Structure 1
Amino acid sequence: MSIKTVCTLDYGIEPDTGEDCAAALQALFDGLAYESGTEFCVQFKKGNYHIHLPIRIRGAKNLTVRGNRATILAHFDPTAPIWANNNVFELSDCEDTSFHDFFFDTDHPVSAAGRVTSIDRENGTVDLKIYEEFPVTGFEHFCATNSFDEKGTPDYALATYNMDLVRLPFTAPDGRRTTRLVGLPYEVVGEHLVRLQLGALSPALKIGHEINLRYEVSGNTVFQFVSCRRVLLKNIIIYSAASFGATIHPRSEDFTFDNFCIRVPDTSERLMAANADGIHALGLAGKLVLRNCHMENMGDDTLNLHSIAACIRKLDSEKRTLAMFCPRPYGPHSLPEKWAIPGDAIYVYDSETFLRKGSFVIDTIDEENNAVFREETGAFAAGDILANAQYFASLHIDGCTIRSTRARGFLVQTHNVLIENCYFYGMSLSALLFAPDIRVWWEAGPCRTVEIRNNIIEYCAHIDSIASQGAIIFNACHDANSLEYPAGVHEKLFIHDNLFIDLPRSGIFVVSASDVRIEGNRFQNCCYHPQENAEYAKYDIVAANCENIVIRNNKSDRGEETLQYLLNCKE
């Protein structure tokens, strides 16, 4: 295969002009003849490139994009409707594509940060001195707030969500009568000083608390992939993402993130680098590899790997027809485009136990997810839960550092997982959560064949929440207790040779699993702030409703008496 190198300079795309070059970049990628059998290498010159529209790459094959340490600055307006902001690269139906050696930032901050200077609990207001690097015009809209503790991690002393923006009359600081978009109500009361109108305040919120104010939560991503295969992102640093670092949609396959980093610049007082997830995959086949990645200060999970769960609405066993939908309590009940196609195998789970009870293969399916099926096993009925077997990508994570994230480090819902040699610090919730969810999020599915080894997990699961029962959690739902689910939801788990340090809660919390081995782990200063009214909360290892479980050779600096707690478990 021949290789053709294309330079951005040859298309008149100069760095450091301060002008929007999105149209010129779009013309460059549109002009590549991907069907010719040529391998293309697009080379950027080092410097800053401003883009105000997403760059759409469709149908690329054998494409390498090299940044040579160029910085892409996406446009972001903290006063505008969220839809006015843009993704950076949107790829669809691409194969054998890679991006190397880029920095990504935004031309304006995607959030602000400051410190609490006064609290009026009677009137429910908080005064916040905004750091100088962030604009304070009075027109910025705040979609979410989060407080940070002295260790630099979200502590939920303040956590609000006001994502439905409303345009209201407004008197600008210069006296002009106008309008602005409002999420959380506030007013400018001094030089870089705002007064947040919050209502009831937690007693945990103190003067001196650092606060992050997100201008957006969910909406924009740096990389978006739809139906892409064999993708590599290497030596990428994202300093600012309005929502996600990367999103992966059906029907994508085989992704590798190598030295993919999302972090706050050393010279900045930003408290968040991305306002939502670092990597969000909701329809990935094949494999996902994360190697030597450093991700910190996410507004949500660093990684969320899952697919959308469905439900059988109607079933005619004789005609082998069924209707499928997603009855989640938020958003549309439709399933994503191409959630299933002919030939896909579908797993069927009992809606009460989440145990797998059968499977079938899609023969035909229409746009409204009415399907004809074949090759069924087991017995199933209306109301049963469905997961597409295509989207259980294997996962290998090695040598990654994950720090100071508002939710979980990794939220994993797949089979064949190996997580090793990683360091986790300052997750507000668990470092690792393995759990499907059909109570709120309607994500699938249960995990099978998981190994977690040689990791260090420090100061995680530190907020008072049922969702932070341990640093490593296997559960049957995301954010609630699931002790009613039986053994067998998760299968073949091996958690060994990990070090747990300075954890307010348990180190390992496993519910509803079979074939579990927990061996050779060490616990130092754990369970120093256990959940109230929970008998098991003072133990380093908690297991409930498990079968074929082996726990041995683990050590705790608190002694054997608080090392492990077993409830309804069978060896």
Structure 2
Amino acid sequence: MIRLTLFKLGMLVQLLLGWTALSANIINVTEFGVIPDDGQDDRQALQLILDSLKDGDKVYFPSGTYSFSSALRLSGKIGIEIYGSIGTNTSTLMATGFDPFSSKVSWTSLLEVRDCKDLVIRDLFIDVDKPVSINGTIADIGNSFEGNFYILDLLPEFAEYASRLADLKIMHQLSYDADGTPNYHISTHFELANGNYPRIEKLGTLRLKIYNDHANKLTRGEHINLRLKITGNPCFSFLGVNTLTIRDITIWQWPAFAMYVSDLADSRHRSSDMTLQRIQMKPKPTSGRLMSISADGIHVASMSGTFKAERCEFVGLGDDAINIHSRLCTIGKISADSVLLINGWTKAPVEDDWAFKDDIIEFLDGKTGLPKGKSKVRFRDKGHYQLQSIPKNICVGDFAAKDTRTPSTIIRDCMVSNSRARGFVVQSNKVVVSNNKIWNISGPAILLSCDMDRWFEATTVKKALITGNRINNCGKYLRWGDTLTGYGAIAVKTGHEIGGIDKPAGVHRNITIRANTISDCANSAIFVSSTDGVKISKNRIENSSHGSSIPYYGNYAIYLKNCVNDQVFDNSFNQVKKLLGKD
């Protein structure tokens, strides 16, 4: 309260003098009532600054730590730049108020941006005031009349929770190999909102006894990560942001997506063109934490233009490092000039931010996934889309994908390691994934997809180049229930998890996989399905397909399923079970 009063008083004095620094181009937040490193909540003072910005202003955070109890919001601005100190004296934005002992499973964002254009965010560190997940090493395994259990010794850095260990609300348990690869020996979710969380007994200062039906699958010495919260809002939420540049941002931990991008129904600007440079999401160097981000690192749900990530690093993520897609809908009704589109995920009429006037919709066969035609949007209202013309052969139950609101994707010179799901999931018309290093990932390092089975994420790939990537120990463990779903270290499918391999050739087209180095993958190094025009050449594949956990297909270093116009040549193999399979 004192801080806010001083802030308002300072503003009033400046206005009385006929001058306000908020009309200047650079706003130093410490000159307006914001005090770093004092542990007090800076949110209200900072929000007043953001609300007073003019187009083109720059907001500067000098070195120090700034605390936030809830989200900052920026809307309706053009040309804003938010940045911190450069060099050894860094600027940290600290989220506060995380409560691992509460069954409430949502949390606020750090920054929500709506309806903005030409936004730059750079040179900042992001953290949370308490660990959002904790981990340790399995000391013992056993069973009793109460069920299977394991004994877990937590790392000393989690001592702040020691007095109330038995009260922790655990959302998810995940096991890891000694090298930090999530191995899915256990991967157990709990619904905290319904009071469904595991039974815990405290045996010592940092020793827990945790009951889990699958504890018998574990071995002593394995690591366990206890995710204390997964749901909630992204650290950065960008809705209706046109031309976004984020560079030199480090996020040490966050209990949900790190960055989320989508559209906004009633805004001047449409989400378009996102560039990420030197983004880091990883545990602090001094920490033994296994997990940094509890869910996806970057999740793009709707955007036009180009998504570009360069020289970024992702370590210890709870889900995909990068997931690029738009929403896949189904046709619920067809009239003379319009269609009713149903959100494949919610089964309700699709939201008005799904597509806009003059956007192009591509229709896909509801059974085969093959293209049926395109049309331009003339008008939209509550799931009803009036079109310039209706393709003659579309039917109720066919899919509708946003052709113009799925970005071209470029991912290059990035690193991903020790993460739970996949490295890059890309569902874009045009794709380039080049010169990345990806290792110790449960699922595929690179997955090109258009999920028509569960998540309903689009769109199909029209042209892709996967080249120069170094991939090690990927695609071995990822499961959906009791079924392994990795298929290949590089995989092309029509679904993320079970299935997604039986659609005919032509769902995806023109995919080149060239000059990648792939090693130590239990299943196929490269698995491609449902593609017309695939070229696989000059890849170096070592020690793959020996420990196959995917029946039949996983025995081949390269497998093509339902592909035509394919070329496979000049690849080198060493220590593989079988070279090439095809059906």
Task: State the TM-score, normalizing by the size of structure 2.
Answer: 0.90
- Provide the residue aligned with 2:310 in structure 1: 291
Identical counterparts, % of pairs: 28
- Provide the residue aligned with 1:281 in structure 2: 300
1:481 aligns with 2:506: no
Counterpart Cα distance in 2 of 1:155 and 1:511: 25
SS in 2 for 1:62: coil
Counterpart Cα distance in 1 of 2:573 and 2:372: 39
Could you tell me whether the CA contact under 8 Å between 2:312 and 2:413 is conserved in 1? Answer: yes
Counterpart Cα distance in 1 of 2:498 and 2:349: 25
Q: What pairs up with 1:128-167 in 2 under 5 angstroms?
A: 128-134=152-158, 135-136=161-162, 137=164, 138-167=166-195
- Provide the residue aligned with 1:508 in structure 2: 526
Counterpart Cα distance in 2 of 1:15 and 1:334: 47
- Provide the residue aligned with 2:579 in structure 1: 563
1:423 aligns with 2:441: no
- Provide the residue aligned with 1:178 in structure 2: none
Counterpart Cα distance in 2 of 1:394 and 1:464: 27
The equivalent position to 1:451 in structure 2, one of 450, 465, 468, is: 465
1:54 aligns with 2:54: no
Q: What pairs up with 1:120-135 in 2 under 5 angstroms?
A: 120-122=142-144, 123-134=147-158, 135=161
The equivalent position to 1:25 in structure 2, one of 46, 58, 67, is: 46
Counterpart Cα distance in 2 of 1:520 and 1:113: 41
| 1:230 CA displacement | 0.5
**Residues 532-563 of structure 1, C-alpha deviation per residue, up to 9 Å, x if partnerless?**
641x322211111111111110000137x822
The equivalent position to 2:380 in structure 1, one of 347, 365, 379, is: 365
Q: CA separation of 1:444/1:555 partners in 2, compared to 1, >3 Å: closer, same or farther?
A: same
SS in 2 for 1:512: strand
Counterpart Cα distance in 1 of 2:288 and 2:185: 20
| 1:221 CA displacement | 1.5
Structure 2 unaligned regions, length at least 5: 1-22, 264-269
Q: What pairs up with 1:31-430 in 2 under 5 angstroms?
A: 31-34=52-55, 39-68=56-85, 69-75=90-96, 76-82=98-104, 85-122=107-144, 123-134=147-158, 135-136=161-162, 137=164, 138-167=166-195, 183-203=197-217, 205-250=218-263, 251-316=270-335, 319-328=336-345, 331=346, 333-366=348-381, 368-430=382-444
Could you tell me whether the CA contact under 8 Å between 1:510 and 1:543 is conserved in 2? Answer: yes
| 1:376 CA displacement | 3.2
Task: State the TM-score, normalizing by the size of structure 1.
Answer: 0.91
SS in 2 for 1:377: coil
**Residues 388-413 of structure 1, C-alpha deviation per residue, up to 9 Å, x if partnerless?**
11222011111101111100000110
- Provide the residue aligned with 1:15 in structure 2: 36
Could you tell me whether the CA contact under 8 Å between 1:163 and 1:216 is conserved in 2? Answer: no
Q: What pairs up with 1:522-537 in 2 under 5 angstroms?
A: 522-531=540-549, 533-534=551-552, 536-537=553-554
SS in 1 for 2:450: coil
Counterpart Cα distance in 1 of 2:550 and 2:471: 23
| 1:463 CA displacement | 1.4
| 1:197 CA displacement | 2.0
Aligned AA for 2:365?
D
| 1:183 CA displacement | 2.4
Could you tell me whether the CA contact under 8 Å between 2:122 and 2:249 is conserved in 1? Answer: yes
Aligned AA for 1:565?
G
Counterpart Cα distance in 2 of 1:185 and 1:221: 29
Instruction: Tell me how large the CA RMSD over aligned residues is.
Output: 1.7
Counterpart Cα distance in 2 of 1:73 and 1:83: 19
| 1:325 CA displacement | 1.0
Q: CA separation of 1:127/1:21 partners in 2, compared to 1, >3 Å: closer, same or farther?
A: same
Could you tell me whether the CA contact under 8 Å between 2:359 and 2:403 is conserved in 1? Answer: yes
Aligned AA for 1:109?
P
**Residues 47-86 of structure 1, C-alpha deviation per residue, up to 9 Å, x if partnerless?**
1111001000001211111111301111222123546632
Counterpart Cα distance in 2 of 1:490 and 1:447: 5
Could you tell me whether the CA contact under 8 Å between 2:378 and 2:385 is conserved in 1? Answer: yes
Structure 1 unaligned regions, length at least 5: 168-181
| 1:458 CA displacement | 0.6
Could you tell me whether the CA contact under 8 Å between 2:545 and 2:578 is conserved in 1? Answer: no
Aligned AA for 1:5?
I
Counterpart Cα distance in 2 of 1:332 and 1:109: 36
Counterpart Cα distance in 1 of 2:280 and 2:122: 12
Aligned AA for 1:408?
R
Could you tell me whether the CA contact under 8 Å between 1:82 and 1:216 is conserved in 2? Answer: no
| 1:506 CA displacement | 1.1
Aligned AA for 1:491?
R
- Provide the residue aligned with 1:171 in structure 2: none
SS in 1 for 2:391: strand
**Residues 160-206 of structure 1, C-alpha deviation per residue, up to 9 Å, x if partnerless?**
00134345xxxxxxxxxxxxxx5233232332222222124343x11
